[in-house]
Structure 1
Amino acid sequence: MTDTLSLPSLVIFDCDGVLVDSEPISLGVLTRGLNGIGLALDVETVRARYAGTSMVSIMERVATEDGIQPPDGFAERVKAETLRAFEAELSAMAGIAQALAELALPFCVASSSDPVRLRRSLGLTGLLPLFDGRIFSSAEVARGKPFPDLFLHAAARMGQDPSACLVIEDSVPGVQAARAAGMRVAGFTGGGHWGHDRAGQDLMAAGAARVFTAHADLGRIISGS
């Protein structure tokens, strides 16, 4: 696959940090939860280690890499607290609704979030009607990001060849997954969790062809101009 200037036949959006500005909320909840079971990490470290990956992957890494076995029900409690925080704080990413309304290509969402959180996030922000019937979760595949399974699944369900797809991602594992799937990928750094100056560099190093910070530029990014 090459990063040509030809228009994609399908645009695949990640959700958290791309469509909705959820990462500052969810990373804060996760950090507090991990601190509570003895893992002394700050939010930035949690972002660097876990952003863009599923809760299943996070729990596996905490057990294998840190030697801490999360107590029964820990993941469920973190998920529930995250959803409660979303009810009060979650917002759509600035400009995304208009950008989607102007998008003349097929598009879908493929996210590491579980189906309940994914649909709730889109519903709370008014984006659900734009994606209904075209929503894909890592719960539907054997392996989450950075493996390519989710993006390949989304492309197959949408009837598109992977090489003709463009992925919009905000995390290094997501970019790696898209590239492993043989897809073009653009990195988005407009989310509230990207507070450091290496954000674009990290995504480019992972394989993003270009990086942008505002959804007003989505059309330009898609056209390759």
Structure 2
Amino acid sequence: MSGRTGGRPELVIFDCDGVLIDSEPISLARLTENLQRIGVPIDLATVARRFTGTSMTSIMAHIATDYGVPTPEGFVDAVRADTLRAFDAELQAIADVAAVLETMPDRRCVASSSDPQRLRHALTLTGLLRHFDGHVFSATMVSRGKPFPDLFLYAAAQMGVAPEACVVIEDSVPGVAAARAAGIPALGFCGGGHWSHDRAGADLLAAGAVRVFDEFADLPHLLGTWDRVSR
């Protein structure tokens, strides 16, 4: 397994929702409406605060514990289908993502809480799938999702890179916490449509991000000056 050989990270691990694609406003709204449909007394602000960046398995475990509402049969599949339909109508890539990925020389992969079908659908829909050469990893591939480190450690191992030679790009507190638990430094991205940028920056820094940024076009500079950024 390779380690860092120079100033830049050996591998850039991207979260997907809220980092590559501006999906969180769509998916959080669909999740909220579907939870309300099965009798969960929850609003969009609470769903966004508690569940952004969290896998559906973890979300439904919290719903059962905190609200006493068990997951109805077929509910998770129904939410996924509803979200994919909304993606078809509304989903866009984060501004400048395609241009940055086109030119950045770094090895990269995706490690997301979303299921593989949703990941492939969203990345294909936005034209971004080709930039990852099949290196797309889902929380369904590991025992525990974010904020546990399992997914990022799995992605690094699959790519043959030591955790300390990677950097994670994350937009959520659970994601930054997972990176930190994995021993991987994280850059916090707060340019997605679901966050107040000021609040997001403070929350991501408090979770352990080494730096935050809200314009994706700034990423090449951050990676190119990584020795200074990561201190």
Scaled by the length of structure 2, the TM-score of the pair is 0.93
Cα distance in 2 for residues equivalent to 1:220 and 1:41: 40
Aligned to 1:97: 98
Residue identity matched to 2:57: V
List runs of 5+ in structure 2 lacking aligned partners: 1-5
1:106-121 equivalences in 2 (<5 Å): 106-121=107-122
Cα distance in 2 for residues equivalent to 1:174 and 1:140: 16
1:117-132 equivalences in 2 (<5 Å): 117-132=118-133
**2:100 is paired with a residue of what secondary structure?**
helix
Cα distance in 1 for residues equivalent to 2:197 and 2:43: 14
Cα distance in 2 for residues equivalent to 1:219 and 1:130: 15
Cα distance in 2 for residues equivalent to 1:115 and 1:58: 17
Aligned to 1:16: 17
Q: Contact 2:55 / 2:114 at 8 angstroms: preserved in 1?
A: yes
**1:197 is paired with a residue of what secondary structure?**
helix
1:20-59 equivalences in 2 (<5 Å): 20-59=21-60
> Cα offset for 1:196?
6.0
Residue identity matched to 2:217: A
| Cα distance change on mapping 1:68 and 1:196 into 2, 3 Å | farther
Q: Contact 2:55 / 2:113 at 8 angstroms: preserved in 1?
A: yes
1:166-185 equivalences in 2 (<5 Å): 166-185=167-186
Residue identity matched to 1:60: A
1:211-222 equivalences in 2 (<5 Å): 211-222=212-223
1:195-225 superposed Cα distances (whole Å, 9 cap, x missing partner): 3631100000000000000111001221235
Cα distance in 1 for residues equivalent to 2:46 and 2:221: 33
Q: Contact 2:190 / 2:197 at 8 angstroms: preserved in 1?
A: no
Cα distance in 2 for residues equivalent to 1:183 and 1:41: 33
Aligned to 2:3: none
Residue identity matched to 1:134: H
**2:20 is paired with a residue of what secondary structure?**
coil
Residue identity matched to 2:49: A
**1:191 is paired with a residue of what secondary structure?**
coil
Residue identity matched to 1:25: I
Aligned to 1:154: 155
> Cα offset for 1:6?
3.1
> Cα offset for 1:165?
0.3
Cα RMSD between the aligned structures? Answer: 1.2
**1:109 is paired with a residue of what secondary structure?**
strand
Scaled by the length of structure 1, the TM-score of the pair is 0.95
**1:198 is paired with a residue of what secondary structure?**
helix
**1:120 is paired with a residue of what secondary structure?**
helix
**2:180 is paired with a residue of what secondary structure?**
helix
Between 187-196 and 143-152, the greater mean CA deviation after superposition: 187-196
Q: Contact 2:169 / 2:189 at 8 angstroms: preserved in 1?
A: yes
Q: Which runs of 4+ in 1 moved over 6 A?
A: none
Give the number of equivalent residue pairs: 221
Residue identity matched to 2:106: L
Cα distance in 1 for residues equivalent to 2:35 and 2:171: 23
Residue identity matched to 1:137: S
